[in-house]
A and B are shown apart, each in its own frame.
Chain A
């Protein structure tokens, strides 16, 4: 086989922060079967799944209950057996805090499984077949973005390097780490399947150097030298796709480009595990590892949670809240979203639930210290952006590349004045977007108006031309009549 070595020089991305880990790697436990499972039909952006069951239907674990009609959507599977009790609006795990349509499944406690449809030897199957199977298994990126994996595995460019992202750079989250410790061989299998699908020459599993146990487990499970396990420095946000690629290869991928255009593809380690389960075992994605952590919970624990489990049931599995339970965050403390209620169900993107005290100090004026610019991984000037965004100078926001902000939260954390910078940028981005839409609508309206004016003028001219013609014809006839008379 080929031997492959990376340049020895230590690569890194600009900015970033060393954060306290707060990670407690625990054994993954299986919580009790919840009474009710909730499946939001909302997938991402403007994409929804279409329910294909009716109220009162009995479903089995692994059965599709909502279908997807495009590659950018994925079907939803029941994660236990039971009866569909309602399709109604419930609070969903979304930053807007709004309710949306959800399928409610009343479990019967039997947990009957739909007969799995494994694929014994994936190397006999074609790329399209495997992608289709991954899509039909409902697999999305499990790192938190929940982008449909099948879509990502069908790039138009040639991929030379597959990176399995096990960096998990956000504090508190340890679901990937514990999964890597407990299921390293399966992850390696999954990585090989993805590598086969992409026909990628190299496959690298990247893991932060603060996770020696997971690193060892992955190293032990790696049999072939087709896969390389690489340690990356524990600097937040090294687990960001583009940051990770830069750390590993030194290639800086521009903001509006996709890594695939440069021959790289990143997949989360949990996604690799899900792909293994889908292809080799024939099991669709109905559960994921989730970290329940923070001072607000009695026992910090990694759980194998069924998708759709209400958060309160998971909290119950961790022996409940403590007095410090003041806020509920889905995701990590840097980029997570605060949820309004623990009735909300776990979705495929939920990698962590952080329950802790509210810690938002009062913000003061910016003293222009420039710390924010030092830590920005996108090399922006957050203080200037903040100035322009809160004074609503949108053109200047564009000049200073507001759209390049990845909302990692580094600037916010280092700010001595405790200014909520990321929040300001989110608002500004929304405003800029709205302005863009407004001006597009205005341009369209103007075009329509111009066209109408043009059309009216043309009709008028045609009318006049016709009148002239008629007049000329009448004149002609008159002249002819006069001529006849003369004759």
Chain B
């Protein structure tokens, strides 16, 4: 009897790109559910729009590049990018915002560089920054924390631009804090506003908790390693604590920085994208800390209220150098 010959090893484990991406998507479910609970159908619509756009764009590119379409789509990386963009942008932004952002993420940030595994930048964050720079106005249309959009209201908001509900949009706490600080108010008076919940955005702080639960699940499943999330959170927390200790009147508390905006989401779901992150353990700690530190700096002294996307992209640039200088020393022979 004759047999085919191949090179060893002859066993495989069950972990694949597909399972990794699915795990991450699964871990996003608590956050999506919480977002839905507080903000209504708009978020689900954004996600569906983004997914459709991503799948079509990815298929188109794969067709042009003569790559297998279905098996590549089945790695779910495009799906994950789409979901991340959809939950990152304001949920009441018009439909073309999320479509443009996803198109940019898949076409330019991912496929032009050679598809999964070759993108130097996190595609979701590249798409987000593209939107932020190109369409600054709709990108500030944050849904007010106490408004739940019904299905029909969500459709009319996203597709017809007719504002269905009064007081639909409002500033985020980061935005509000920044503006009020400029006009001379102190942190204590600013953060006593009804916009604020226990620590940061009313309701959205619960979403942050949901991200944390999902992220801890990923760490527990060993889908992601703890180094990057921990370093990102520390990167925000440590400088924020120092600043807060220096002057609590003009600097927000470190807890506020941790809970407000997209800090937790970035720490567990965005910065941990392995393709664009550093790979060694030391490298990961530095990479994560850099992201956290940049988030704090841009929030505090930069022009934008939240800074996750910029921080992640800037850190992406440094990842190859971090890897190069911090590669584990192989000194044995």
Contact = CB atoms under 8 A, between A and B. Distances in A.
B11 A256 contact: no
A289 to B, nearest CB: 21
A368 B279 CA distance: 7
Interface residues of B, number: 36
Contacts of A305: none
Contacts of A326: 3-4
Interface in A359-374: 359-362, 364-371, 373
Interface of B is mostly: loop
Contact of B8 (A362, A401, A414, A422): A422
Nearest to A294: B10
A338 B10 CA distance: 9
Contact of A370 (B6, B10, B19, B280): B280
A378 interface: yes
B169 to A, nearest CB: 37
B274 A255 contact: no
A312 B2 CA distance: 11
A416 B10 contact: no
B116 A383 contact: no
Interface in B80-137: 114-118
B168 interface: no
Given A367-B17, A368-B275, A370-B274, A327 B8 contact: no
B330 A401 contact: yes
A426 B7 contact: yes
A338 B6 contact: yes
B4 A338 contact: yes
Interface stretch (A70-78, A271-279, A329-337): A329-337
B11 A373 contact: no
A163 B96 CA distance: 70
Contact of B332 (A255, A328, A373, A412): A255
B3 A365 contact: no
Nearest to A328: B3
Interface string B279-301: 11000000000000000000000
B65 interface: no
B10 A354 contact: yes
B328 A379 contact: yes
A335 B9 contact: yes
A403 B7 CA distance: 18
A341 interface: yes
A321 B3 CA distance: 12
Contact of B116 (A255, A365, A412): A365
A231 interface: no
A358 B6 contact: yes
B15 interface: yes
Contacts, number: 152
A404 B333 contact: yes
Interface string A352-394: 0010101111101111111101000011110110000000000
Contacts of B12: 359-361, 413, 418
B64 interface: no
A401 B328 CA distance: 12
B16 interface: yes
Given A362-B71, A413-B13, A256 B333 contact: yes
Interface of A is mostly: loop
Interface string B1-32: 11111111111110111011000000000000
Contacts of A312: 1
Contacts of A321: 1
Contacts of B7: 95, 338, 420, 422-423, 426
A19 interface: yes
A406 to B, nearest CB: 11
B274 A369 contact: yes
B6 A416 contact: no
Given A171-B11, A334-B11, A417-B17, A340 B5 contact: yes
B277 interface: yes
B327 interface: yes
A209 interface: no
Contacts of A334: 8-11
Interface string A399-430: 01101100101001110111010110010000
Nearest to B333: A255
B13 A401 contact: no
B328 A409 contact: no
Given A333-B10, A366-B117, A370-B225, 15 more contacts: A254-B333, A327-B5, A335-B9, A337-B5, A362-B71, A365-B118, A369-B20, A373-B279, A380-B330, A381-B279, A400-B327, A400-B330, A403-B333, A416-B15, A417-B117
Interface of B: 1-13, 15-17, 19-20, 71, 75, 114-118, 225, 274-275, 277, 279-280, 327-328, 330, 332-333
